[in-house]
Amino acid sequence: MTPASIQHLSERDEILARLIRRVGPCSLTPRRRRSPYEALVRAVTYQQLNGKAAQTILQRVRDLFPGKTFPTPHDLVRAPAEKLRGAGLSRAKTLAVKDIAEKTLMGVVPDRRAISRMNDVEIVERLTQVRGVGIWTVEMLLIFTLGRTDVLPATDYGVRKGFALTYGKPDLPRPAELLAFGERWRPHRSTAAWYLWRSLELPQ
């Protein structure tokens, strides 16, 4: 994100400013060229898995469609559920990625141009109509694909754990508490969330 976001957060929150100094510059670089469809399929695949396991499963899914960088919505709609399950997707995730593909073809999941004209609330309302896509999944798309600057994923375990660690709290904050505290970070809450994630990687 921008130096302005770092300056704003540092001026508004002394404790977060110390974390920013320890971590260094923010290297969050959204993948804006990735379509909402692909971002959602990836996010659903990664749900409740560690990164390496999810990456392996996603690659197996991609291998089902040789010659393509990523399967198209038509590919996933036509793919037998048994093949997707065989690649490692659970039954629930198989149903979810097929619904993402179907709703992309229907226009419920917008393309890159259409989604760029929508605000965050509109995007959440639209995409949570898709099976297996909750608010957290949409928040990940907003931050890591669309580059929206003011998203605070208050239900995310890593963000909550990072907050407790950074602010010396014995318990994880409730999402409502984190949202209330994070009001001071507006309009750069995505950057604040990124630093809270990074706090978990620092030596304690």
* Residue the block writes with tokens 């396991």: 53
DSSP string, 89-104: --HHHHHHHHHHHHHH
99 noted as active-site residue: no
Distance of CA 57 to the CA centre of its chain: 18
Q: Give the other-Cβ count within 10 Å of 29's Cβ.
A: 9
- Of the candidates 13, 75, 120, 156, the residue annotated as catalytic is 156
Q: Give the other-Cβ count within 10 Å of 48's Cβ.
A: 9
151, 139 Cβ separation under 8 angstroms: yes
56, 88 Cβ separation under 8 angstroms: yes
d(CA 108, CA 181): 34
Residues annotated as catalytic (active site), given as ranges: 156
